[in-house]
Amino acid sequence: MDATTVPVLAPAAISDDERAAILEAVRDFAQTELAPHALEWDAASVFPRDTLRRGGELGLGGIYIREDVGGSGLSRADAVAIFEELAQGDPAIAAYISIHNMVAWMIDSYGDDTQRQQWLPLLTSMAGFGSYCLTEPGAGSDAAAITTSAIRDGDEFVLTGVKQFISGGGEASVYIVMARTDADAGARGITAFLVPADTPGLSFGAIEHKMGWNAQPTRQVILDEVRIPAANVLGTEGQGFKIAMSALDGGRINIAACSLGGAQWALDRAVTYVHERFTFGEPLAEKQAVVFALADMATELRAARALVRDAAAALDAKSSDASMQCAMAKRFATDAGFSVANQALQLHGGYGYLHEYGIEKVVRDLRVHQILEGTNEIMRVIIGRQLLAG
């Protein structure tokens, strides 16, 4: 396989009945394995390794990965529906599964046969986890400005630098690290490396204390003269920035789908609550202001869902404007998802602010979706530039 290009793969064609059966199985997993424990994991910052491995048995570790390495071989359109269902159980865990799938896709799409066979059976089964290492303390939105270096030394590269905000840091089996192999080549001087977790010189910062996403660890990944065989280059030297950006297209619609799922859960809870809560002698559901709020919430979610599905279809079809559509879907759905969840909290009044009701957790979890996989301001840059370029 030519490692410089993504292979042209047709997603598995499944029938409507097969798709419905898959989503029913995912829904059951989300409601029995995730939802009952979500508040506990959040409060105690528990990373549920065993639960994730059971998700791997269901095929969640390689949703759109080829079947010869244990993947499910599904389409991006199928994947966004799956992530929406997972997020109704726990948005934080659904989002980590999204990141894990992004790592697996990068190896499946750009790795050689040895790399695919070495890593993907481990990742698709979720017997091991993956992490994506692009952001640095001084390089977030400007990803081409990374300074982590990779210096060639015979048949090895020596990696030195620090990666910031890495989901799964300290838990992953393999880290895809973007490092600079040419200091003067800008984005074209970045290369992607597969770094096993047990590599000498690789260490991790303290677990970050975050507003949300407490069930998945976020740490610095520190590389102190980490020696990696040249065979661990993913793709070709200098191709890393392209690989990173192509992965983010899929990551963005997955995170958008997670926002849809979390927000739909919050909306459903709000609808139930306003029927049960009485004020001034009548249920909240009888008040026009409440009816209008719910109508707007449902409308925003349906519009966001349409954008996400269209973007997924564009990615499956390899449309020329797929990156722009993914940026549109990510921007709109993550903004809408947070707004809907926040409004659901407001409709619950003081009860929405209590941990036991779960609404405030979803608000906290969905807030970061407007920042990661490229901030929503960067999404506007991507959309605007493509529009202006014609």
Residues of the chain scoring pLDDT < 50: 1-10
Q: pLDDT by residue (tens digit) across 159-196? A: 999 999 999 999 999 999 999 999 999 999 999 999 99
Residue 333, domain CATH? 1.20.140.10
Longest dimension (CA), the chain: 80
pLDDT for the residue numbered 1: 34
Residue 39, domain CATH? 1.10.540.10
Q: pLDDT by residue (tens digit) across 36-73? A: 999 999 999 999 999 999 999 999 999 999 999 999 99
Q: Is residue 156 part of a domain?
A: yes
Q: Is residue 3 part of a domain?
A: no
184 and 120 fall within a common domain: no
For 80, 176, 213, 245, 360, the CA distances from 363, given in Å and listed in that order, are 20, 30, 10, 28, 5
Q: Is residue 52 part of a domain?
A: yes
pLDDT for the residue numbered 4: 42
| In contact, 20 and 81? CB cutoff 8 Å | no
| In contact, 174 and 128? CB cutoff 8 Å | yes
54 and 166 fall within a common domain: no
Residues belonging to the active site: 373
334 and 323 fall within a common domain: yes
| In contact, 326 and 341? CB cutoff 8 Å | no
d(CA 113, CA 116): 5
Extended strands (E) in 202-350: 202-204, 218-229, 233-234, 278-279, 282-283
d(CA 183, CA 186): 7
316 and 296 fall within a common domain: yes
211 and 162 fall within a common domain: yes
Q: Is residue 160 part of a domain?
A: yes
80 and 160 fall within a common domain: no
For 77, 337, 389, the CA distances from 299, given in Å and listed in that order, are 21, 11, 32
Of the candidates 86, 101, 79, which has an alpha carbon nearest to the alpha carbon of residue 38? 86
Region for residue 111 given its phi and psi (left: phi exceeds 0; alpha: psi -120 to 50; beta: otherwise): beta
| Amino acid type, 232 | N
Residue 174, domain CATH? 2.40.110.10
Domain boundaries, position 332: 241-389
- Residue ending a domain, among 206, 223, 238, is 238
pLDDT for the residue numbered 12: 56
pTM of the full structure: 0.94
pLDDT for the residue numbered 7: 41
Structurally, the chain folds into a number of domains equal to 3
214 and 266 fall within a common domain: no
